[in-house]
C-alpha cells in the first residue's frame, strides 16, 4: 500500500513538472566548434536524461563483463557446497539409521565437496567410525572437534562416551568436569557428571551438584531429598571407616533430618549412637523415624539396641511402636509375630484381623497361614490363606526400579549401576501359578514350630508301604485311601493301628510345641 501511494505521488509530481515546462518552452542555444544548436528547454532536458541513461548502461555492461569470471566461480562453488550439504545430510541420516555403507559413501562425497575440517563433516566422520567399530578413528575425529568453538562441546561428549565405553572412568570424570566448566547449564553435562561422581564415590562433590540438578529441573523434590539423605549416609560410612565417629554421627543426624522416612540412615544413626553409649538417643531416633514411616528394619534395630531380649520384653517394645503408629498394619503384624512366638494364638489372631482391616497385603494372609499351622488346622485351610496371599497386593520392599528386582537390603546402586535406583516401594504384582507354601519368615521373633507342616500337593500321595508309621497330616483321624481294591481286612486293621500310633506321636509333638 505504501509503495502504491509513493508511485502515485511521484507520477503526479512528474506530470505537474512536465506541464509546467510545456507552458514555458523557452530556448536553449548551444554554439560549439562553429556549430550552433537551438532547441526548447524540454527537448534539452530529455536529451540530457538520455545521455545519462546511456552512460549508466555502458558502465553496468562493463562491470558485468569485468566480474563475470568471479561470478561464474562463485556459482560453481555454491553448487558444489549445495551438493556437499546434501551428501552430508544423507550421510547423517544413514549414520543415524545404522547404514554403514551408505554413511561411508556420503562421507567421502562430503569430504570431496566440502572442507574436511567442517564441524558437520567431522561429526559424520566420527559417527561413521563408531559404526565401523573404529574407536581410534572416532577418537581422532572427536579430538579435532575440540578446535572449533561450535563443536567443542560435541567433541567433549564424544570423548566422554568413548572413555566410559572403554571403562576409563577417571578420564571420563576429567572430561565431564571440563565440559561442566565450559557449559554448566547443559542438562546432559550435569547429569553425566553426577553419575560419574557417584560411580567414583566422590560423595561431597556429588552433594554440591545436587543443587544444580534441582535448579535445572532435572530432579523433583522427593528425589532430591532422597538422594541427599543417601549421600549423607554414604559420607558417614566413609567417615566411620576412617575412625571419625563424631563426624559420621553428625552426617547421619543430617540424613535423618533431611529424610526421616529413609530407614537405613535412621538405623545406622541409632546403632552408632548405641556404640557411643547414647542408647536413649538411639531409641528416640528410631521412634521418630517409625512415626514418620514404619519400616521392618526400624523395628529390628529398635529391638536390638540392648542385645537379645526375651519375647515378653520384645512384645512390650513392639507395643510402644504400635502406640506411635496405631493405624499402620506393620505395627500389628509385628505384634502378631511376637504373640505367635509366645504361644498367644488368640491374641495373634486378633492382631492379624486388625492388620487386615487396615491393609490386606500378602504378608497379612501369609501370617494367617502360619497361625493356622500353629493351631494344627486342616491343610485345606492353610492353603486357602496362601491362595489369598497370592491374590493380595504385595508388601513394600527394596525394589530395583530399573529391573523391578526385589533386594533384601538397600544399596546405593542398582543392578544397572545407576545411583538411587533401589527404593522402598510396592513391587509389581506377579501372579504365581500356585501359592508359595514355604514358611513365612518372621521379622522380630523366632518362628515357632507349627503343630503340623503342610505337605505340598505333589508330595501328599500315599507311600508305597503303610507299615513304616509316618505321621498323619491331620488331627481328625481322616483315612487315607490307597486306591487298592483288593485290600484285606487284616490290611485295614494295620492301617487303623498305624493311624492310632500316628495320632499319639502327633499329640506329643503338639505338646512339645
Query: Which letter, b or e, does each residue of 161-182 get, where b requires 16 or more Cβ atoms within 10 Å of its Cβ?
Result: bbbbeeeeeeebbebbebbbee
Most confident of 22-36, 81-95, 354-368, 477-491: 354-368
CA distances from 513 to 60, 349, 407, 444 (A): 117, 18, 33, 19
pLDDT band at 461 (very low <50, low <70, confident <90, very high): very low
pTM of the complete model: 0.71
**What pLDDT, on the 0 to 100 scale, is given for residue 473?**
34
Q: Is-contact 255 265, C-beta < 8 A?
A: yes
Task: Report the DSSP pairing between strands 28-32 and 35-39.
Answer: antiparallel
CA distances from 299 to 289, 296, 303, 313, 481 (A): 10, 5, 6, 13, 48
**What pLDDT, on the 0 to 100 scale, is given for residue 413?**
95
Nearest-CA neighbor of 374 among 510, 512, 508?
Answer: 510
3 state DSSP class of 473? coil
**What pLDDT, on the 0 to 100 scale, is given for residue 263?**
96
Kindly tell me if the per-residue pLDDT of 469 is higher than 50. no
Query: Which letter, b or e, does each residue of 337-364 get, where b requires 16 or more Cβ atoms within 10 Å of its Cβ?
Result: bbbbbbebbebbbebbebbbebbbbbbb
Percent of the chain with pLDDT over 70: 85
Amino acid at each position: 500500500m505504501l509503495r502504491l501511494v509513493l508511485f502515485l505521488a511521484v507520477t503526479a509530481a512528474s506530470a505537474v513538472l512536465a506541464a509546467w515546462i510545456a507552458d514555458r518552452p523557452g530556448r536553449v542555444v548551444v554554439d560549439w566548434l562553429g556549430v550552433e544548436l537551438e532547441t526548447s528547454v524540454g527537448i534539452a532536458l530529455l536529451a540530457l536524461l538520455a545521455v545519462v541513461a546511456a552512460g549508466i548502461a555502458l558502465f553496468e555492461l562493463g562491470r558485468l563483463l569485468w566480474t563475470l569470471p568471479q561470478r561464474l566461480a562463485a556459482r560453481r562453488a555454491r553448487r558444489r557446497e549445495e551438493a556437499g550439504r546434501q551428501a552430508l545430510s544423507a550421510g547423517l541420516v544413514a549414520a543415524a539409521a545404522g547404514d554403514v555403507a551408505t554413511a561411508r559413501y556420503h562421507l567421502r562425497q562430503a569430504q570431496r565437496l566440502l572442507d574436511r575440517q567442517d564441524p558437520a563433516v567431522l561429526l559424520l566422520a566420527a559417527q561413521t567410525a563408531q559404526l565401523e567399530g573404529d574407536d581410534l578413528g572416532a577418537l581422532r575425529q572427536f579430538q579435532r572437534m575440540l578446535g572449533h568453538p561450535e563443536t567443542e562441546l560435541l567433541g567433549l561428549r564424544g570423548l566422554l562416551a568413548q572413555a566410559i565405553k572403554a571403562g576409563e572412568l577417571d578420564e571420563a570424570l576429567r572430561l565431564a568436569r571440563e565440559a561442566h566448566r565450559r557449559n554448566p547449564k547443559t542438562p546432559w553435562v550435569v547429569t553425566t557428571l553426577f553419575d560419574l561422581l557417584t560411580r567414583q564415590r566422590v560423595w561431597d562433590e556429588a552433594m554440591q551438584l545436587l543443587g544444580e540438578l534441582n535448579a535445572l529441573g532435572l530432579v523433583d523434590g522427593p528425589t532430591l531429598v532422597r538422594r541427599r539423605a543417601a549421600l549423607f549416609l554414604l559420607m558417614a560410612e566413609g567417615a566411620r571407616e576412617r575412625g571419625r565417629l563424631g563426624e559420621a554421627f553428625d552426617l547421619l543426624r543430617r540424613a535423618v533430618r533431611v529424610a526421616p522416612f529413609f530407614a537405613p540412615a535412621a538405623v545406622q544413626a541409632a546403632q552408632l549412637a548405641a556404640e557411643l553409649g547414647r542408647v536413649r538417643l538411639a531409641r528416640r531416633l528410631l521412634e521418630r523415624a517409625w512415626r514418620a514411616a514404619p519400616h521392618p528394619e526400624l523395628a529390628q534395630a529398635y529391638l536390638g539396641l540392648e542385645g537379645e531380649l526375651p519375647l515378653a520384653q520384645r512384645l512390650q517394645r513392639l507395643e510402644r511402636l504400635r502406640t506411635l503408629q496405631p493405624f499402620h498394619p506393620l505395627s500389628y503384624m509385628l505384634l502378631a509375630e511376637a504373640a505367635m512366638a509366645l504361644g498367644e494364638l488368640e491374641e495373634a489372631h486378633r492382631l492379624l484381623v486388625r492388620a487386615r482391616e487396615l491393609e490386606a497385603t500378602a504378608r497379612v494372609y501369609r501370617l494367617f497361614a502360619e497361625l493356622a499351622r500353629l493351631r494344627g488346622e486342616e491343610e485345606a485351610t492353610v492353603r486357602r490363606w496362601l491362595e489369598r496371599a497370592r491374590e493380595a497386593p504385595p508388601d513394600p520392599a527394596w525394589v530395583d526400579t530399573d529391573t523391578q528386582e526385589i533386594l533384601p537390603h538397600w544399596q546405593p546402586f542398582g543392578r544397572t549401576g545407576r545411583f538411587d535406583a533401589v527404593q522402598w516401594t510396592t513391587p509389581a504384582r506377579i501372579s504365581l501359578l500356585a501359592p508359595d507354601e514355604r514358611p513365612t519368615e518372621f521379622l522380630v521373633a523366632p518362628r515357632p514350630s507349627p503343630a503340623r507342616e503342610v505337605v505340598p500337593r505333589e508330595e501328599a500321595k500315599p507311600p508305597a508301604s503303610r507299615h513304616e508309621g509316618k505321621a498323619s497330616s491331620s488331627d481328625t483321624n481322616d483315612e487315607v485311601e490307597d486306591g487298592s481294591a483288593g485290600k484285606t481286612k487284616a490290611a485295614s486293621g494295620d492301617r487303623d493301628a498305624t493311624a492310632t500310633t500316628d495320632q499319639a506321636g502327633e499329640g506329643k509333638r503338639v505338646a512339645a510345641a
